[in-house]
Amino acid sequence: MARRSDHTRDELVAITIDAAWKIVGEDGFAAATARRVAKEIGYAPGTIYNLFGSMDDLYLLVSARTLDTLHEAIAVPDCPGGGGKPADKMKAMAKRYRDFAGEHKNHWIMLFVHNLPDGKAVPTWFGDKVERIFQPLEELLEPFFLPLDQRRRRMAARVLWGSVHGLCFLEATGKIPKVTGNMSSADLVDNLIDTFVAGLERTGI
């Protein structure tokens, strides 16, 4: 039996999230079972339920870490010189997103594969973390909208992010048939951004 003075409760929570994060990264979301996580931290399965209440709550915390890491990867400071067209900055941001999805594929896919059971609602603190993902792009979209037209800018950020996500997801899960030879998801995303931004410019401020 693990001794109760081995770790404080908070330490144990952190250790467990670490373990689950590691298992997901190595063997995928489906491998992060209660028994597997318990074995990894050297405790019994029941302990996880003392700590989190359910596996779903643990999964939510793992996904929270994914969102934090993703946000960190995306929201690098604007290029120092300030040069470069907005579209290029967006493509660079999308590339960082794609790179993240590639490097943390299992964590990233888990964001969309894990769903709470019907009754359970996503807690607001989690929704806030999702919301935060859109902010860096919103800032890049500033030049295309009047200062007071926040609504359209927020909309554009969501449309663009949702679209980039859709393309990456279809590719990562193999749901989209390989297009004619040389056409990667990178090409698709760049094409989306170029065309969308051109549309923004044409539509006018």
Partner DNA sequence: GTTTAAAATGAACATCGTTCAATTACAATG
Partner DNA sequence: CATTGTAATTGAACGATGTTCATTTTAAAC
The CA R_g of the chain, rounded to the nearest whole Å, is 20
Site residues (CB under 7 A) for DNA, limited to 17-76: 32-36, 38, 42-47, 49-50, 54-56
Residue with tokens 């539509």: 203
User: Is the CB of 85 or the CB of 120 nearer to DNA?
Assistant: 120
Cβ–Cβ < 8 Å for 189, 94: yes
Cβ–Cβ < 8 Å for 23, 12: no
Residue 34 beta carbon to DNA: minimum distance, rounded to whole angstroms: 4
Cβ–Cβ < 8 Å for 140, 128: no
Question: Which residues touch 69 (CB under 8 Å, ≥6 apart)?
Answer: 100, 104, 107
Site residues (CB under 8 A) for a second copy, limited to 149-178: 151, 154-156, 158-159, 162-167, 169-170, 173-177
Q: How many CB atoms lie within 10 A of CB 61?
A: 17
Backbone angles phi, psi at 203, to 5 degrees: -55, -25
Options 4, 81, 125, 202; binder of a second copy; rule CB under 8 A: 202
Q: Which does 149 bind (CB under 5 to 8 A by kind): a second copy, DNA, none?
A: none
User: Is the CB of 55 or the CB of 186 nearer to DNA?
Assistant: 55
Residue 55 beta carbon to a second copy: minimum distance, rounded to whole angstroms: 15
Please give the distance of CA 201 from its chain centroid, rounded to a whole number. Answer: 29
Tell me the per-residue interface mask from 94 to 123 with a second copy, x by CB under 8 A, - otherwise. Answer: -----------------xxx-x------x-
For residue 23, the number of C-alpha atoms closer than 13 Å in the C-beta half-sphere is: 22
> Where along the sequence are the contacts to DNA (CB under 7 A)?
1-7, 9, 12, 32-36, 38, 42-47, 49-50, 54-56
Binding site for a second copy (CB under 8 A): 111-113, 115, 122, 127-128, 130-131, 151, 154-156, 158-159, 162-167, 169-170, 173-177, 179-180, 183, 187-188, 191-192, 194-203
